[in-house]
Structure 1
Amino acid sequence: MEEPLVPLVPMSHTAHIRSHRKPRSNASTMAMRAGVAGGILGSVAVAGASASAYAAEPVTQTIELPTLTADVASQVAQSADAMQQTAANYELQAERDAATAKAAKQAAADLKEAKAEAKKKAEAERRAAAERAATRAAERATLTSKATSASTSTSASAPASGSVATVVSFLKAQLGDAYVLGASGPNAWDCSSLMQAAYKQVGVDLPRVSQDQSTVGTDVSLSNLQVGDILYWGAKGSAYHVGTYIGNGQYLDAANPSKGVVIQDLSGYPATGAVRVL
């Protein structure tokens, strides 16, 4: 049986050249090309949208703070404790300063008050001393007047009987005066200057020192004393102390710096001897 003849299709005159052959297209190639194109367009669209978004909204930068570690937290706590302690110390110091200032202020006030009180006391003592001095001056003036009257009518070696009272009155007017060695009145005496001043009131001139005063007048026994007799302590001619017998076993003298002019008992300090000049 004869095979049927297939009609021949005439070829293009450039078909034999490879570069002029018409490429074959299939469904898979077309799909790939479409996908690539779509991807490119999508990327371009996303990029454009992103650019617009960044252009429209401000950029905000977020800074992440460091996380506190255990060591840093401990240091912070210690620092806080130190600051609290420092504040407490400042407060305590302030309280101490305030207390010191208050104490100083009180001390100043106390000192001022003490000075005022001392000044007031000194003024009172000064006035009292002035009053005593005025009283003594008046008494001495009276005694001097009496002594002058007595001396004009009698001799110095034999004064009138009233002379003893004058001497004793003068001596008692000096009670409380100070004892000062070498002093001779009017507010301070030693033993012999007081005797000299007292007997001078009635015109009897005694030597200045006790040694010489123990040798004047007439010697008298201590058992036969009379008011107005001069007592002495120590040997006759070298006596170290003198006083005047005023009766009742007592004598008046400028005793010593601690006692001044006082009245004392002979029993407590017996004399060595006595002389009589009145």
Structure 2
Amino acid sequence: MALRAGVAGGVLSTIAVAGSANAATAAEPVTETIEMPTLTAALTSKVALSAEATQQAADAYQYRAEQQSAAEKAVKDAKKAHKAAEKKAEAAAKKKAEERAAAAERAARSAERTDLSGVQTAAATSSSSGSSASAPSQDVPAPAPASGSVASVVSFLQAQVGDAYVMGGTGPNSWDCSGLVQAAFKQVGVDLPRTSQEQSTAGTQVGTSNLQVGDILYWGGQGSAYHTGVYIGDGKYLDAANPSKGVVIQDLSGYPADGAVRVL
């Protein structure tokens, strides 16, 4: 029994010593092996990486926003440029149309002058072959005696104000200059030649300083006029002006005539 007691005591002592040693060993990591600096550096590195990624994302977002803004501005600028180009093209087309109309009018007037030259040549030939000098040319009829009133002529002309100008037009809603003058005097029984050149020689030359209502005004030389109108008083005249104006009343001071003839 004594031996057993001794053995048992020895075993218990050994266990107690081992337990104390194990307890000391278990507590040692808590008091001596925590590496806070190493953990703090890793965390700092992770935080730094996260901040850098966030900044990169912000930079990328800002870059995309700037790209979108630039694209929107480019679209607006392109629209403005397109509208400006359209306006410029419209203005150029309008100008070109006006130039074509003016060129056509000049060509027609030139053709009228050529026709008149042929008429004058024929008249001269007829005269040299023994025809009476006082006999009128068949192509340029002598003015008929007045059988109507100036008031009727002016009334007819005023009724056409606003009608269109068309080269070669003789009515009823579109006219050229000589076509309108011819139609107006036809209302009172006066048969005038068709062209401006012929009309400038159809009556008595009265000049422009002694005008009366109903006198036919012409621009250009006598026998080579390129435009005609009718004096209506108060320094004004009525004519089929051009494609852009049509039939209008105008102030003679703005476009003085070169001559005038009287048939009434």
TM-score (norm 1): 0.46
Higher-Rg structure is 1
Q: Determine which structure has greater relative contact order: mean sequence separation of CA pairs < 8 Å that are 6+ residues apart, divided by chain length.
A: 2
Higher fraction of helix: 2
